[in-house]
Structure 1
Amino acid sequence: MIATSHPLSSSAGLAVLAEGGNAVDAAICACAVQCVTDTHMTGIGGDCFVLYAPARGKVRALNGSGMAPAAATPDALRARGVTELTQTSPHSVTIPGAISAWCLLHGEYGTLPLDRLFAPAIRYAEEGFPVTARVARDWASNGDSLQPGDHAARLFLPDGHAPHAGAVMRQPLLGARLREIAARGAAAFYTGETAAKMSRYLQDLGGLHSEQDFHDSMSVARWEDPISAFYRGHEVLECGPNGQGLAALMILRILEGFDMGPDIPQADRIHLLAEATKLAYHHRDALIADPAHCEGLAEQLLSDQVIEALRARVDPAHAGQPALWTEPEHKDTIYLCVVDAEGNAISFINSIFHAFGSTRLDPETGVLFHSRGSSFRLDPAHPNAIGPGKRPMHTIIPGMLRDNGRVTMPFGVMGGHYQAAGHAAFLSAVLDRGLDPQAAMEETRTFAFDGELQVEPGLPDEVRRDLEQRGHRLATASGPLGGAQAIHIDPGTGILTGASDSRKDGMAAGF
């Protein structure tokens, strides 16, 4: 079974499974398709995180986040007059880590060759793909972020406007890059002519990137041990810092001290989630950074002493002071998961950060660069300060559930800042109230963000009034809060139950 947020991605991955490919093969194939068909959300110019659970072996975390250029320091940027790392600044572009991660993952666990896995994506890039409804909506909503007259605007806004649902789009240069990577692996992206062109393009924009930075990043992806915490007797696994999976575990641990069951009023559950979210995200923003700059942080923040102290700050009747939010808002990511016939399970997420990433598209290579470096701080005293070879704090987080040592559900929730809170809300619905994964995804979402409690349309008026009386300042979300995918593995029968969020165009499919 495979679950993705795009139908062409799901069908491509399912075809790989049908011809005997494994979960890794299907995930790489599906993600490559979305790098073409969901181009405003993800791409080869972005980053990737993975949780992989072999049928026989321990769960492994793959950190495929890219590094800042060797010349990037707060002092160097201030000398250039940079006071803020904005979405479109060349300094928001860290060296992309996705291709390094894909190739490392494939080299250790893939069974089908890359040219087979990339074939659907190459076909869609060169021959064209139809724009789906949700993609068209996002494209239209975010097209104004593209720079008029820039290369990305010329490609993604044909005739000056976003393509409508059903329009056919092509990205032949992206197809050429995928062909090169299929033939030569990560070296095709990080060395040689392609790397020289990409570094030259970023330098022309004023960036500090060098060709050597790309060479050094060919092996940037690395295997790590996942971090975990128990919730209602189930083990939740996340990737560790520099991702925000730690925040998701903190929220769950705080919530475990409260009744979140089916007999508790909806307003109570929403309020408790909001308060736990504020506490966890405050620590996320202040402390999560490159793993080398926050060693031991997960153990410290998940300790009983810290969690009990945070839990004691939650007032069930009143909203607390909101955390100070200073991170840029970012929403654009794709998540997918796969379970194969052997029982291998993968939780896979790939992102370019903002809509259309940095909006900077190299006209010679067709690579659209992400904007992940805008998460960095310019304060040299902050653990997440930009620095040579550093990885910025990341919001993209794959998740996995395990019972008695056996994986029972790879899952993920897209949506930038919302992801950690979304993981907690989704798992609470499944584990506290017994909802099946699809029903848990379909629930009306809320999110405590930037001093407001964002709510999707559909929340009953009496619940809204209750939350306002507790001191929450409600704001109707401007669009759907995130999207989700999950595959539940029945531990007794092995039967798979897939779920795909209706907020996206995707689907779960199996055989």
Structure 2
Amino acid sequence: MTGPGIRPATLATGGMVSTSHPAASLAGVQVLAAGGNAIDATLAMAAMTWLTLPGQCGIGGDAFAVVREPDGRVWTVNGSGYGPDGGTPDFYAAQGFSSIPLDGALAVAVPGAPAALAALAAGGATRPLDELWEPAARRAETGLACSARTAGDVAAALSAIAHDGDLRAVYAPAGAPPHVGTRLPQPELAATIRRLGRDPRGFYHGEFAERAVAALRAGGAPFSGDEWAAGWDVGAEAPVSGRYAGAVLHQTPLPTPGWMVLQQAALCDGVVGFSGWMGADAIDRMARAARVAFQDRFALCGADNSGPAEVLAPARLAAQRRDLDARRESRAPVDVRAGDTTSTVAVDADGRAVSFIHSLAFTFGAKLTVPGTGVVLNNRLGRGAYLIAGHPNEVAPRRKPLHTLNAWIVTDEAGGLRHVGNTPGGDGQVQWNMQVLSHLLDHGLDPAEAVSAPRFTVFPGSDADVIGRPDELRVEHGLPDDTLRGLERAGHRLVAQPPLGGGGSVQVVSVDDRGVLCGAADPRQEGIALGVD
């Protein structure tokens, strides 16, 4: 089914990786070729993406992974942290905030990425972290060439970047974004990478932690330091799992929205696969299921409650399926926003697979660095926590904000690996992941076809300036005219997007019955899949 504009999938038998940047993919495949496993490759790629996509991810962000072992066991790591211990609703109300700021110290939650990567390494790496991260440290010293994506990210965040001396010195020393190809040396970040490679716990305890907390306090954020130390407490967790089209879907648990993909799968199973690929009925069902999932998230879910268990209860899902069959649905506002994230996938020759995703939340996070370290801090608290009294996601000490990140692995009923994938893209993630899963499982597309297929996204969000506007279904160019007419007849207000203009950067690796790996990276970014034979 490969058509014009779709790059052929990569094939291999000895292992495969896929990321959104060639240098990151190269780092991972070199580890596999040298005898490392998929966890080793993931750790190497994570560090390299700190340099290749610095607006999307970093040491000061969060990270999540799903791992499938050769014996079929599946586990996850979930690295996200708390807001400040003094960050009570009264604290923000006293300053007149109706929402938490998105830039500066008040936007920051304790980063979970270093702890998540250390937990991932403890779960099965065969090489020490300092060895796996040394190539990234060397590239940070000499400077990686600026990509088109990074130049665009700097341009988008330029005014905020200018207020942080360390960010400005790296990305805009002359007051303007770097040109594509400009080398961006970061010797302070190189030193931090080496230091954390030797002792990742040092991010949360000791001199580094004291420096970070002092910088946040200076910016007005009421961190005690105890919540920062608690960020180190990350270990292996069980996935949340469900079924779709005869396969088993394994997802990251709370605070991620992995359950939202499982909910959409339950609402679409046995319907979308019989509606014709990318036909109006299939897209209508998936779009309505996505709206239901977002409404349930807004109404019911926080990072530390049982909302997902309630949402995924069989009787409740059955009732929602009946409503969707009859095209009955509520019209509550939903929170659908963009986001800046990047992700990787890796499969080794033993069948071990890792789906990994990490983020600073929005572009360059809080636009705030820990002075002298090269570490950019996230704005996940501002991005993910609410100032809505009594809401399960209301900001509170030792309550993690909800996340948009999620990662998935698909196995057969016996635990055999079938697919591993993910995508960045804020609240588009749970929608596009469902679409890709349908392409793979309902229609048998190969990874290149699945990641290149036209994308659609429900919108708007719940921001004050859009509440009450009619729902939109944003559709990339490439859907047949009869599909578009059918969606309009079904009541959707369509908004056209250019070819490959819908967002995201999907990575997929699949395995067939012979053990041959087939992988592809989304053409919407600069990524590539590479394999080892």
Tell me the TM-score normalised to structure 2 length.
0.90
SS of alignment partner, residue 447 of structure 1 = strand
Aligned residue number for residue 382 of structure 1? 391
Q: Is the 8 A contact 2:385 2:393 kept in 1?
A: yes
Contact residue 61 and residue 113 of structure 2 kept, 8 A? yes
| Fraction of identical pairs, as percent | 34
Out of 234, 237, 251, which is 1:224 matched to? 237
- CA separation in 2, counterparts of 1:298 and 1:70? 26
- Does the alignment pair 1:414 with 2:424? yes
8 A contact 1:72–1:386 mirrored in 2: yes
* 1:89-108 superposed Cα distances (whole Å, 9 cap, x missing partner): 42221100100111121123
Amino acid at match of 1:285: F
**Structure 2 portions without partners, runs of 5+:** 1-15, 461-470
Q: Secondary structure at the match of 2:324?
A: coil
Instruction: After TM superposition, give the deviation of residue 362 of structure 1 in Å.
Output: 2.6
Distance 1:148 1:25 in 2: 36
Query: 3-state DSSP class of the match of 1:314?
Result: helix
Greater mean deviation of Cα atoms: 125-134 or 235-244: 125-134
Matches within 5 A, 1:113-192: 113-140=128-155, 142-144=156-158, 146-151=160-165, 152-183=167-198, 185-192=199-206
Alignment RMSD = 2.0
Distance in 1 between residues matched to 2:359 and 2:28, nearest whole Å? 18
| Aligned 8 A contact 2:459 2:472 in 1 | yes
Q: What displacement does 1:260 show?
A: 3.0
Shift of the 16–269 alpha-carbon distance from structure 1 to 2, 3 Å rule, reads: same
Q: Deviations over 1:22-77 (max 9, x none)?
A: 11111011010001220000000000111111212520111111112222211222
Moved more, 392-401 or 187-196: 187-196
2:275/2:282 contact within 8 Å kept = no
Q: Distance in 2 between matches of 1:453 and 1:154?
A: 41
Distance in 2, matches of 1:144 and 1:33, equals 23
Q: 1:108 aligns with which of 123, 126, 137?
A: 123
> Given the alignment of the two structures, is residue 277 of structure 1 paired with residue 290 of structure 2, yes or no?
yes
Residue in structure 2 matching 1:307, options 313, 317, 342 = 317
* 1:208-257 deviation line (CA, Å, top 9, x unaligned): 123333222222x2322111111111111111221101111111111114
Provide the residue aligned with 2:356 in structure 1.
348
Counterparts in 2 of 1:251-290, with a 5 A limit? Answer: 251-261=264-274, 263=276, 266-290=279-303
Q: Deviations over 1:340-390 (max 9, x none)?
A: 122211111111111111111233222111111121112341111111121
**Are the counterparts in 1 of residues 92 and 100 from structure 2 also a CA contact under 8 Å?**
no
Q: Does the aligned pair in 2 maintain the 1:126–1:170 contact within 8 Å?
A: yes
Letter in 2 for 1:289: G
Contact 2:60–2:375 (CA<8 Å) still a contact in 1?
yes
Residue from 474, 496, 506 that aligns with 1:484: 506
What is the CA–CA distance in structure 2 between the aligned matches of 1:232 and 1:129, rounded to whole Å? Answer: 43
Distance in 1 (alpha carbons) for counterparts of 2:295 and 2:458: 12
2:114 paired with 1:99: yes
1:498 to partner: Cα distance: 1.1
Q: State the partner residue of 1:473.
A: 493
Matched, 1:402 2:411: yes
Write out per-residue CA displacement over residues 401-451 of structure 1, whole angstroms, 9 at most, x where no aligned residue. Answer: 010222221111211101111111001111111111210110110001112
Cα pair distance change 1:261/1:173, threshold 3 Å = farther
For residue 527 of structure 2, what is the aligned residue in structure 1?
506
- 1:110-159: CA deviations, max 9, x gaps? 1111121111211121101112234434443x234625333334432242
User: 1:242: which partner in 2?
Assistant: 255
Q: What is the correspondence of 1:433-472 to structure 2 with a 5 Å cutoff?
A: 433-450=443-460, 451-472=471-492
Provide the aligned length of Structure 1 versus Structure 2.
502
- Contact 2:272/2:286 (8 A) holds in 1: no
**Counterpart for residue 12 of structure 2:** none
Q: Distance in 2 between matches of 1:465 and 1:153?
A: 49
Letter paired with 2:358: N
Q: Which residue of 2 aligns with 1:6?
A: 21
Instruction: Provide the secondary structure at the position in 2 that maps to 1:414.
Output: coil
Q: What is the rounded CA distance, in whole Å, between the counterparts of 1:326 and 1:261 in structure 2?
A: 30
Check 1:466–1:108 CA distance in 2 against 1; reply closer, same or farther (3 A cut): closer
User: What SS is found at the alignment partner of 1:455?
Assistant: strand
The amino acid that maps onto 1:353 is A
- Aligned residue number for residue 343 of structure 2: 335
> How far did residue 79 of structure 1 move?
2.4
| Contact 2:368 2:377 survives alignment (8 Å) | yes
Quick one: distance in 2 between partners of 1:102 and 1:473? 42
Distance 1:264 1:211, change over 3 A: closer
* 8 A Cα contact 1:244 1:288, kept in partner: no
1:75–1:149 distance in 2 versus 1, CA, 3 Å: closer
2:50 pairs, out of 32, 35, 38, with 35
Which amino acid counterpart does residue 344 of structure 1 have in structure 2? R
Tell me whether 1:393 sits opposite 2:402 in the alignment.
yes
- For the 8 Å contact 2:72–2:416, the answer to whether it is kept is no
Stretches of structure 1 lacking an aligned partner (at least 5 in a row): none
- Among 32, 53, 60, the residue aligned to 2:68: 53
Task: Output the amino acid matched with 1:463.
Answer: T
The question of whether the paired residues in 2 share the 8 Å contact of 1:441 and 1:484 is answered with yes
SS of match in other structure, 1:508: strand
CA contact (8 A) 1:197 1:364 kept: no
- Indicate conservation of the 8 Å contact 1:240/1:298, yes or no: no
